[in-house]
Every structure is written in C-alpha cells, then in structure tokens.
C-alpha cells in the first residue's frame, strides 16, 4: 500500500491535470509502474509476475486511483483483464510467449470488447472471426471502441463470434495485418 501510495504521489501527481486536459497517455508513469512490478502483480512468478493476491492488488489500485485514474486503468487492464485471462485460458505456449512481456512492462496490453451499438454487452457483439480458406489464420471483422491502451499496446485481446455463436478472445500482436 505504501509503495503504491508513494508512487502515485511522486510519479503520478506531477502533471496529472495536464495529462488529463490534453488527453496524453501516461507512458512514462506506466513504464515506471512496470519497473516496480505493478503491471504483473497477480501474475504467477512462473511467468515473471509478483504472484500477489487480489486484496494486495486492489489496495494498490485504490492508492493509484486516488491520484490518477488513467494510470490505474492501464494497470487494471494489464493485470485483471489480459494477464489474468491468459493465465486461466491460454495454452502453455501462449502463456510463455506473452505473459512475461506483459508482466515486466516490456509490452502493454489492450482489451477489445466494447462495440458501437452493443457497448460492453458481449452477447450483442457483431465482430466475427472466420477461419481462412487454408485453415491457418483467423480473419477478424468488426469494430471496437473505448480500448484502453489502444495506441500504446503491443498485444490486443480481441473478442469475436465464431459462426455467429461461440464468443472467444483472440491474441493479436500490434503488427498483425
């Protein structure tokens, strides 16, 4: 708690109003947060994280949120939405490839669920995933909005429907066509 509070006061507070007014992404603060291990708080040490419990994570989020909600949301997306989901649902190859990069802050993650007309109603999503003719690639079609870390992320978890039914997440690296 003290480390999170000190970070928020010393690193987030200076310039917080200016960043908000100019809608500037807090890149420098996120990088420093990663150096302190906050971007992988709940990630297992096996994948380079701190392996902390949910209570510790929430306390740290609360302290940072008091000063800079933008920084805390970036931290939350990386920990809760992306890394946690990957630890629970990805195969071992995917976990080893991506989670250490995300937990260390080498990479940033984005979570792509919300859509125009559907909001965050996952069942109302229109984005589709279709297997390519050669069966080697998935083709994603649709629109997403309000994506935290969108312009900064290296890895995107994009949610889409397969055959209009099954809803699943796809890991998409930044440079993927």
Q: What integer pLDDT is reported at residue 6 of this predicted model?
A: 97
Residue identified by tokens 């993927």 is 176
Extract the tokens encoding 71: 């920084």
Q: What digits encode the pLDDT tens for the residues 144-153? A: 999 988 988 9
Q: What digits encode the pLDDT tens for the residues 47-58? A: 999 999 999 999
Q: What integer pLDDT is reported at residue 124 of this predicted model?
A: 85
Q: Please say whether the beta carbons of 52 and 41 come within 8 A.
A: yes
Q: What integer pLDDT is reported at residue 62 of this predicted model?
A: 97
C-alpha to C-alpha distance for 56 and 79, rounded to whole angstroms? 12
Extract the tokens encoding 97: 């490839």
Extract the tokens encoding 152: 């900064």
Return the H-helix or E-strand segment holding 21.
Answer: helix 16-21
Q: What digits encode the pLDDT tens for the residues 70-104? A: 999 999 999 999 999 999 999 999 999 999 999 99
Q: Which of 60, 73, 48, 64 is nearest to 152 (CA)?
A: 73
Prediction pTM value: 0.89
Indicate if the pLDDT at residue 164 is higher than 80. Answer: no
Q: What integer pLDDT is reported at residue 76 of this predicted model?
A: 93
Indicate if the pLDDT at residue 166 is higher than 90. Answer: no
φ, ψ for residue 167, nearest 5 deg: -105, 125
Beta bridge partners of 62: none
Largest CA distance in the chain: 54
Indicate if the pLDDT at residue 170 is higher than 80. Answer: yes
Q: What digits encode the pLDDT tens for the residues 16-49? A: 999 999 999 999 999 999 999 999 999 999 999 9
Q: What integer pLDDT is reported at residue 120 of this predicted model?
A: 78
Average pLDDT score over the chain: 94
C-alpha to C-alpha distance for 39 and 108, rounded to whole angstroms? 9
Q: Please say whether the beta carbons of 37 and 54 come within 8 A.
A: no
Q: Which of 16, 9, 76, 7 is nearest to 40 (CA)?
A: 76
Indicate if the pLDDT at residue 134 is higher than 90. Answer: yes
């Amino acid at each position: 708690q003290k480390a999170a509070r000190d970070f928020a006061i010393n690193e987030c507070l200076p310039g917080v109003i200016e960043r908000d007014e100019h809608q500037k992404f807090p890149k420098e603060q996120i990088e420093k947060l990663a150096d302190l291990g906050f971007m992988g708080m709940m990630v297992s040490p096996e994948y380079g994280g701190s392996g902390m419990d949910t209570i510790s994570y929430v306390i740290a989020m609360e302290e940072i949120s008091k000063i800079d909600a933008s920084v805390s949301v970036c931290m939350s997306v990386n920990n809760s939405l992306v890394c946690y989901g990957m630890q629970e649902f990805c195969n071992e190859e995917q976990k080893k490839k991506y989670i250490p990069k995300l937990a260390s802050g080498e990479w940033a993650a984005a979570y792509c669920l919300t859509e125009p007309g559907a909001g965050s109603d996952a069942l109302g999503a229109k984005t589709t995933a279709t297997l390519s003719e050669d069966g080697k690639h998935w083709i994603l079609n649709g629109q997403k909005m309000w994506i935290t870390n969108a312009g900064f992320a290296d890895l995107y978890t994009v949610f889409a429907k397969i055959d209009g039914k099954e809803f699943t997440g796809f890991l998409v690296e930044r440079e993927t066509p």
